[in-house]
Chains A and B, each alone.
Chain A
Amino acid sequence: MAKKPSLGRQKIKIAKIQIKNHLQVTFSKRRSGLFKKASELCTLCGVEIAIVVFSPAGKVFSFGHPKVESVIDRFLARNPNLNSTSGLHLVEAHRIASIPDLNMQLTYMLNELEAEKKRSETLDEMRKAGQSQFWWEAPIENLNLHELEQLKDSMEGLKRSVSIQANRLFAENSNAMSFFGTNNSTNGVDHYDIKPVAPMITSTSSSAAASHVHSYGYGHGLF
């Protein structure tokens, strides 16, 4: 799933973009970035803000805190006390009160994502190292017929071993379950807390990254 390398950061001239496709892509990205910056400004400094942006196609995007409409009203009326009835105040207050918690959730998610990305890089390095070290780990396209046949034999042997071991484990599990007289999957669920493949792979990643080995979407609170 390799990404096509982008052009990276380039200095561009601040003038209307000539190529329609580029213009649309730029709009999409920059509008997204703009809203992100606006959101951060609100979070960090607690200010009221409204941004209205028209797309090249004529659609309108808007960001506002606490609400686009209230900021617009405030601006147009130039009356700082132009907020609505106290009833709506309460609803608004509720909404705003949830924001710090949402930000914490977001931060958590972003940190997890960064950790997984680092792990991905580590795994890529391992793959690269393996490829240059052992001929059988090279991409299949690089192997000749003789090597391919050998590798195939090895793989088939591995497949046999895996099957045998799997059947053995399955039999053990069945015995265990019938011993406890239960047929539900509680035993199975316990397994999911164990780090499945971590012991076998030595990596130089940080403990934070390694600890994510277990979170394969099993019982993750926020999933």
Chain B
Amino acid sequence: MTRKKVKLAFIMNDSARKATFKKRKKGLMKKVNELSTLCGIDACAIIYSPYEAQPEVWPNNLGVQRVLAQFMRMPEMEQSKKMVNQESYIKQRITKAKEHLKKQIKENREKEMIEVMYQCLSGKGSIANLILPDLNELGGLVDQTIKDICRRIESLKKASAGKGVHAPPVLSQSPRPQAVVVGGNGSNATNEMMTRNVVDGVNAMGGMQKTQWSFADWMNNPSEQNMGLGGQGYEMAPFVDQNPNVIWPNHFFP
């Protein structure tokens, strides 16, 4: 395969152009051959070059004439329906590329918005930086996420109700988040949440005020969070903080 990407323009250098022509012409003929064989269809190719008086053809002169005759027997509308020249072909490619680009940009924007959402949630990012259209989009995404969460909660509740089993509380050391103080006065709220940062599973028991569990439960639910190891960052339940300067303390990863 090529080592370098070739620029899509006429090759000015004569010898380079001739070399490219030889290689690509050979490759093209090979491809026509394969297409014809693999799919069991009729095809022909005619290539004129400045290097030779006679054109190079596939499969051979007789074969080309046969296919051309077949082609010209068809009604003109059928002939021109899928007929393209360089100009129309490149225009088609441009149109397709534009479509793909549009779709990809849209997809990327959605992905990016998800990142923004999570960053705002954990305080790494601030919604103060966003302009109105983005803010609205973020709001929509948060709404949708809340809906999805509710739906999932419902289905879990139904499942456990159906089974008649009460799901044991799993230790995820995150106390209920505090209400945001609008106006950048979040330092108080921050401090409260900071102190709840847990060091290990056992200590977390004291920090958690809502859930009760026994050590047995804790042992029976081994997870990264429980073991307090993580290996990667571990942080507590995030919440939006209007103060962009807040950095969540992380005892494991200073």
B172 near A150 with CB under 8 A, answer: yes
Within 8 A of B (CB), among A140-182: 140-141, 143-166, 169-170, 173
Interface size on A, residues (CB 8 A): 125
- B71, A45: Cβ atoms under 8 Å? no
A148 partner residues in chain B, CB cutoff 8 A: 149, 152-153, 156
Cβ-defined contact, B90 with A39, below 8 A: yes
Bound together, the chains give a CA A135 to CA B32 distance in angstroms of: 54
**Are the C-beta atoms of B46 and A50 separated by less than 8 Å?**
yes
Q: A62 contacts the other chain (Cβ, under 8 Å)?
A: yes
Q: Which residues of A in the span 19-63 have a Cβ within 8 Å of any Cβ on B?
A: 23, 26-27, 30-31, 33-56, 59-63
Secondary structure type dominating chain B contacts: helix
Please name the residue on chain B nearest to A192 by beta carbon: B133
Q: Which of A60-74 contact B (CB under 8 A)?
A: 60-68, 71-72, 74
Q: Is B82 a contact partner of A102 (Cβ separation < 8 A)?
A: no
In the complex the two chains form, what is the Cα distance from A156 to B179 in whole Å? 10
Segment 117-171 of B: residues with Cβ below 8 Å from A: 117-122, 124-136, 138-139, 142-143, 145-146, 148-150, 152-153, 156-157, 160, 167, 169-170
B247 at the interface (CB under 8 A from A): no
A interface, over-half SS: helix
Q: Are B153 and A149 neighbours in the complex by a CB distance under 8 Å? A: yes
Least distance between B30 CB and chain A CB atoms (Å): 10
CB of A199 within 8 Å of the partner chain: yes
Tell whether A120 pairs with B134 under 8 Å between CB atoms, given A157-B179, A157-B240. no
Cross-chain contact A107 with B21 (CB below 8 angstroms) = no
Chain A residues with Cβ below 8 Å from B133 are 191-192, 196
B177 touches A154 (CB 8 A): yes
Q: Does A41 lie within 8 Å of B135, measured CB to CB?
A: no
Which residues of A approach B to under 8 Å, CB–CB? 1, 12, 14-17, 23, 26-27, 30-31, 33-56, 59-68, 71-72, 74-76, 80, 95-96, 98-100, 102-107, 109-110, 112-113, 116-117, 119-120, 123-124, 126-127, 130, 132-137, 140-141, 143-166, 169-170, 173, 191-192, 194, 196-197, 199-201, 212-213, 215-217, 222-223
